[in-house]
A = this chain, B = another copy of it.
């Protein structure tokens, strides 16, 4: 085979695995969550702004992980954090979560397992997979990422959930332990992400980096991550575009 893998100038090594941030980069969490929240609210006779609810639920994500990153709290998987934050988001919207059964709330919590891919994701991942290992590098837990992959048809080779590394991005061990499971040097792994801060942390851990723009992740008025803010190895406006730049 004459294929020459992309060689990162910053690491000097051929890239063997292209790993993807998932929420926002591969799947459209805002649309997916808002759709399920709207259906939930309608079914239970509540009125709410489903987009705002999705944004609020998502906004509680980083502070919940911060407690774990700082060591204040032991590793707790994302499904559990989402479930706790769901109670908080419901209360914030004036809805008492105690009126619902445990099963009803768990079902709504699983909306994070059923997020729609961006229209180009499946095709782009399949193209890259022909020449590189592809997988998520996400703060999601394994079962969440697995359900998402089966539901959305994401053709991952391997799923290394945050419950396997036992830590959350952007801590360096999240990137380094993932490379270790793959038996690759950090420079043989590329992170593809729509978030500059994630790429910065990946670069500091020694990974190659690719920015994939997702200018409507946060809805029509998005003000962050519209463009690359670092000298990332590759920049693309879609995953098939990234495949092209990787020669895949």
**Which residues does A use to contact B, with CB under 8 Å?**
79, 133, 141-143, 146, 149-150, 157-161, 163-164, 181-184
Q: Is the CB of A142 within 8 A of B163?
A: no
Q: Is the CB of A158 within 8 A of B157?
A: no
Some 16 contacts from A to B, beta carbons below 8 A apart, are A133-B146, A133-B150, A142-B158, A142-B160, A143-B181, A143-B182, A143-B183, A143-B184, A146-B158, A146-B182, A149-B157, A158-B159, A160-B164, A161-B181, A164-B164, A164-B181
Indicate how many identical chains form the complex: 2
- Nearest-neighbour CB distance to chain B for A3, whole angstroms, equals 14
Which 7 pairs across A and B sit closest by C-beta, in order of nearness? Answer: A143-B183, A142-B181, A146-B158, A158-B159, A164-B164, A143-B182, A146-B157
- Nearest-neighbour CB distance to chain B for A34, whole angstroms, equals 24
- Nearest-neighbour CB distance to chain B for A248, whole angstroms, equals 14
| Contact A183/B150 with A142-B158, A158-B159, A159-B158 known, Cβ cut-off 8 Å | no
Inter-chain CA distance A157–B143, complex, in Å, is: 11
Chain B residues near A159: list those with CB within 8 A.
157-159
Q: Is the CB of B157 within 8 A of A181?
A: no
Q: Is the CB of B133 within 8 A of A183?
A: no
